[in-house]
Structure 1
Amino acid sequence: MSKINSICLVAMLVMTIVSVSNFLGFSIAGISVIVGIVFFFINRVLEKNTSSDTGLNVKAIGINLKDKSILFWIGLPLVINIVCFILATLFLPEFIEHIYLRTEFMVSLDKILLLVLQLAILALGEEIAWRGFFQRQLSKWLPIIPTLILTSLLFSLGHLAVGNIVVVSYDIFFIFINSVLYGVVFYKTNNAWISAISHFIANLFIVIVIAFF
């Protein structure tokens, strides 16, 4: 194993450990995003890659967005979130409060421009860490389907919050589904900007619903 791969593997193990730390009562899962972002750029320097090679290509955004099949995948997490909240409204109303409590410390619902900026930064940060770094590195050792499943499982567990087990399980299930979809977007485009757009749109819908209720 090369030195670069060894460094990336250590970073991925750290992200994994931090993501599952919620099970031990530690609320430090967000550190996994910081680790992923840092090592994304460290790996970029070590491999001497351009932005197009690493999965963060600004120039390709326009090209990707002109592809109707990509637009379908970008919008699918939003559809999933709509289904999620419709079902929750009908059968699991406690879910709305759970989401509010899980996200209130991250976003400013009373300041629209700040809210949009926060959501954009959070989405891009998570996509660089989990898709641009973790998924991309993991795909060097595993086929794409197990890569998507394992990456999304860890990503979902990083969002685990205290609460009713049914509500928490419902929350984690839909986070997992959307994470797989973000992973598919990244796999098809090799561009974390595009998966971040999908992530941002889906999260914006959630915050709008929370604010409404």
Structure 2
Amino acid sequence: MEYTKKQSVVGIIVLAAMAIVSFTNLFGANLSSAAIILGVAFFFICQAVERQPMQGSGLDFKAIGEGLKDKKIWIWIILPIVMDAVCVLLSVLFLPEYIEYETLRAGSFVEIEISAKSFLMFLVFALGEEIAWRAFFQNRLSKVLPIIPAVLVTSFLFTLGHYKQGDMTIVLFGLVFTFINSVLYGVIFHKAKNAWISTISHFAANIFEVLLFILIAKVN
């Protein structure tokens, strides 16, 4: 019992650390990657310490096929792509400055180009974020909170990690869609119990947005 309590305390400390790191983004610290590293590291540390099998952990590779057999999950997987299309369409019509802002923000992590290297990096980042924020943070938080507040809190902190200083209208516009997509990834993880499946949606949405940015740049 004492050992379990220690594990719970450590888990709470790590969740708090991830939350604090996300908030530092508001002050220009740009430490969002540290929250991802913490989440990924402690996901695997907890798996090893608690001696839990990968099956049912939220990162069971073998369960991907079974999860994708559910036709309803595909609706949720596609929704972030739809939201990215809406985001880009609205920005083209009413806030064209957002395209440049988001291209520079995302480009500071991964080059916005069609290449195997960029696609691989987007996949790595999507997987890292899904392990950290869904398989670890949301999964742990849902053990002490109902699933709706767990998803909302996780998505709020995930969104803070994507904050970058700039014109507040442009920044808030982007953060609203980041929050919406994060909620969708959280729902996907909750329904599929598998971060690989939420990663598929996350990666596909990111690549779709990148392709739109590249297309818009060529047209202009």
TM-score by length of 1: 0.97
* SS at structure 2 position matched to 1:48: coil
Moved over 2 A (4+): 108-111
User: How big is each residue's C-alpha offset from its partner over 1:129-157, in whole Å with a ceiling of 9 and x where there is no partner?
Assistant: 00000000000110000001100000001
Query: Matches of 2:28 and 2:98 in 1, distance apart?
Result: 21
**1:191 aligned onto 2:194:** yes
Give matches, 1:36-185, under 5 Å: 36-110=39-113, 112-185=115-188
Unmatched runs of 5 consecutive residues or more in structure 1: none
Letter matched to residue 124 of structure 1: L
Bigger shift: residues 99-108 or 109-118: 109-118
Please tell me whether the aligned partners of residues 81 and 208 of structure 2 are also in contact (alpha carbons under 8 angstroms).
yes
Alignment partners' CA distance in 1, 2:68 and 2:85: 22
Which of 29, 34, 39 is the matching residue for 1:31?
Answer: 34
Maintained 8 Å contact 2:22/2:158: yes
Q: How many positions carry a matched residue from both structures?
A: 213
Q: Please report how far the alpha carbon of residue 106 of structure 1 lies from its aligned counterpart in structure 2 after TM superposition.
A: 1.4
Deviations 1:95-128 (A, max 9, x none): 1001011011211334610011001100000000
Q: Percent identity?
A: 46
TM-score by length of 2: 0.94
Query: 1:108/1:23 Cα in 2 relative to 1: closer, same or farther (>3 Å)?
Result: closer
Deviation at 1:53, TM superposition (A): 2.2
CA distance 1:198–1:158, change in 2 (3 Å): same
Q: Does 1:3 align with 2:6?
A: yes
Query: Are residues 1:20 and 2:12 paired?
Result: no
> Which amino acid in 1 is paired with 2:62?
K
Mean CA deviation greater in 194-203 or 58-67: 58-67
Q: Could you tell me how far apart the structure 2 residues matched to 1:82 and 1:110 are?
A: 18
What is the letter of the counterpart of residue 203 of structure 2? F
Give the distance between the partners of 2:101 and 2:113, measured in 1 at CA.
Answer: 19
8 A Cα contact 2:163 2:175, kept in partner: yes
